[in-house]
Structure 1
Amino acid sequence: MTFIFAHRGSAGTHPENTMESFIAAEKSGAEGLELDVHLSKDGEIVVIHDETVDRTTNGKGFVHQLTVAELKELNASYKFKTFQSFIRSPKIPTLKEVFEWMRGNNLLCNIEMKNGKIMYPLLEEKVIQLIRDYRYEERIIISSFNHYSLVRCYQLAPELETAPLYSDGLYMPWIYAKAIHSKGLHPNFKAAPNMIIQEAMANGIAVRPYTVNKESDMERLIAIQCSAIITDYPEKAFKIRKKLSK
């Protein structure tokens, strides 16, 4: 069965990387979440995609130059007007908050390390320590476009699954994955033709393409039983998977 990972939660219908988006993803039937992590000024692991808060909140500035308290003051609903309530607007969560919520479900969680443009000191160590504190070793996949970071994660915690992110065609990517001790591959779906996916899986490497939002692409990947897809629309993917399984 092709697992469904909700990209930044149900990001197609909810403010990305917020608890509201993650809760919606769980209700959609998804098996997993995909989220992004940075470090705040005071060294807390926070869940947000960009290096700045400009696009996704009503604030401005770099994440690493703001404290958790300052980040929590921001409204993270950006373009989703229906979520801009004066009672409670969506906030930037910490990874610890997400992990606390995960105690009440069985979701997998793909953590993307956002340390390509800003090299956060000790990001890998902090994330791994939190995973171990919650004993989520079997529920976590760590991915990154920074493959040096993935090797560092393997050195610190060889029991954790890592998966390199990449956006262009990679020759025999299953060999590369094994070379950096990764058990998965997270390619852009455009760089993941069926033949490559099937060969990688035959070599024991899970393949989870991103960001699969068109129904035709979902159908193609589910039909070949791709390990998982990462999508902004987990509810749509769940319905397609259900239809194809009949």
Structure 2
Amino acid sequence: MPNAVTALALCFGLTGVRFAIAGEWEKAVGAIVIAGVLDGLDGRVARLLKAESRFGAELDSLSDVIAFGVSPAVILYLWALQYIPKYGWVVALAHAVCCALRLARFNSQIDSEWQPHKSAGFLTGAPAPAGAAMALLPVILWLALGDADLPRLQDIFARSYVVAPWTLFVAFLMISDFATYGWSSFRLRREFRLPALLLIGLIGAAMLTAPWATLAIAVILYAVAIPFAVRSYARVKRRRAAERTAT
């Protein structure tokens, strides 16, 4: 079952390319979003069913490379990067290659006994699904501004000179050593659990009524949170160093 979910995520990622070829940008981005949701479920399904395996881990990484590396790169190229003479494809390749490098680094550290970021509840660099969402942020903003009937502002985010540097920046974040938040970074106190459930419900409702604006806000908030994650991990490092000195 977990591997079936992973394969389904792979299929949705590739389907995003199919929609991009047809110029159906909403469906293309939507397919990548669904792939991201499925990618977040497969590991939890595996742990729930006690069906974790090395095969599943390898399949998950291969699926991530295609769904969150290759597919967003092709979508961005067909949407805006193709209009950059000579170098547009190179920029698109940068995203795909950096996603592959990030996942290769992740796989090489699976059996490592000491992973400083993971032990503190952080991730190393932007994870592949988040990297795909951030790379596609110009497209998401373009769709959101189209819904808001703001054509002049919408046109800015479709400019290749905006998309190209942003794509390179996200590619760098994926292979960087920056600490980023993971699910285990958040430990809610009991008194905050009901408000958190309410917030999740409101976000779900917002995704139904204004999906692109809500998704754009979520991706922007994640990007803004990265410097805070770096600062939080720096505090963890200082505390660990102080504890080692004390002992």
- TM-score normalised over the length of structure 2: 0.29
- TM-score normalised over the length of structure 1: 0.29
**Greater helix share, structure number:** 2
Larger radius of gyration: 2
**Greater strand share, structure number:** 1
